[in-house]
Chains A and B, each alone.
Chain A
Amino acid sequence: ETGVTQTPRHLVMGMTNKKSLKCEQHLGHNAMYWYKQSAKKPLELMFVYSLEERVENNSVPSRFSPECPNSSHLFLHLHTLQPEDSALYLCASSSGLAGYNEQFFGPGTRLTVL
């Protein structure tokens, strides 16, 4: 595997379910990101981790809970979601080195909340 991978690619869940999204990067990067992409809205940055420490939390509801056990893996734990949380969730990584600010994105998980 190369680049940034995300699983599952598609997820349908009820409002009372608990599920997790997984992201893995094979690039040796130190920073990882979760974004939400909804129709007709700009990309929303949700969380940022640098060296496994959360450095950004953009007023995201507590029903979204991130976890970064090591610099290669990032999870987004979901519970009691709402239908308006249906969106494409994108993971990205970057080197974390000054001047190397390109982010590499995974293919996303298409989430539908019923």
Chain B
Amino acid sequence: GNSVTQMEGPVTLSEEAFLTINCTYTATGYPSLFWYVQYPGEGLQLLLKATKADDKGSNKGFEATYRKETTSFHLEKGSVQVSDSAVYFCALSDDGRGGSEKLVFGKGTKLTVNP
């Protein structure tokens, strides 16, 4: 079945450091790929998405490129801020039934950014 593997955390960085969180996937067909973020005490929010190979999703300074040849969707940010401290989830869409869409999630990577 489809699956997502993302780097184990936690990741601790200083403010303005470069961030990479690795994500690779296994899927049949052509899934969409997502990064979700969960801030403390909140639900998940969509951070960015890409729907086909070579698409780049971007939002709030974060970027990820859909690489079909390496089955990867790594999350990057050039300069992190304390407010980026959260748990980040990589996910792919898996065709659901009856008009629904299943998402397959990675285990999450906790990021802490220190001032």
- Contacts from A to B (Cβ < 8 Å): 4, 6, 30-31, 33, 41-43, 45, 48-51, 53, 55-56, 90, 92, 94, 96-99, 101-108
Kindly identify which residue among B43, B46, B107 contacts A106, using a CB–CB cutoff of 8 Å.
B43
By a CB distance below 8 angstroms, the chain B residues around A108 are 42-43
| Cα separation A50 to B99 with both chains bound (whole Å) | 6
Nearest chain B CB to A43's CB is how many angstroms away?
4
Q: Are A50 and B98 in contact (CB under 8 A)?
A: yes
Q: Which of A42, A90, A104 has the most CB of B within 10 A?
A: A42
List the B residue with the shortest CB-CB distance to A43: B105
Q: Are A96 and B34 in contact (CB under 8 A)?
A: no
By a CB distance below 8 angstroms, the chain A residues around B36 are 105
Q: Are B98 and A55 in contact (CB under 8 A)?
A: yes
- Please report the number of residue pairs spanning A and B whose Cβ atoms sit closer than 8 angstroms: 72
| Cα separation A6 to B44 with both chains bound (whole Å) | 13
Identify 5 residue pairs between A and B in the complex whose beta-carbon atoms are under 8 Å apart, listed by A's number: A43-B89, A92-B44, A102-B49, A105-B43, A107-B41
Binary per-residue interface labels of chain B (31-66) against chain A in the complex, 1 for a CB within 8 Å, 0 otherwise = 010101000011111100101000000000000000
| Cα separation A99 to B96 with both chains bound (whole Å) | 12
Size band of the interface chain B makes with A:
20 to 34
Q: Is B101 in contact with chain A by the CB < 8 A criterion?
A: yes
Q: Is B70 in contact with chain A by the CB < 8 A criterion?
A: no
| Cα separation A97 to B34 with both chains bound (whole Å) | 17
Q: Are A96 and B97 in contact (CB under 8 A)?
A: no
| Cα separation A103 to B36 with both chains bound (whole Å) | 10
By a CB distance below 8 angstroms, the chain A residues around B102 are 45, 48, 56
Nearest chain A CB to B109's CB is how many angstroms away?
12
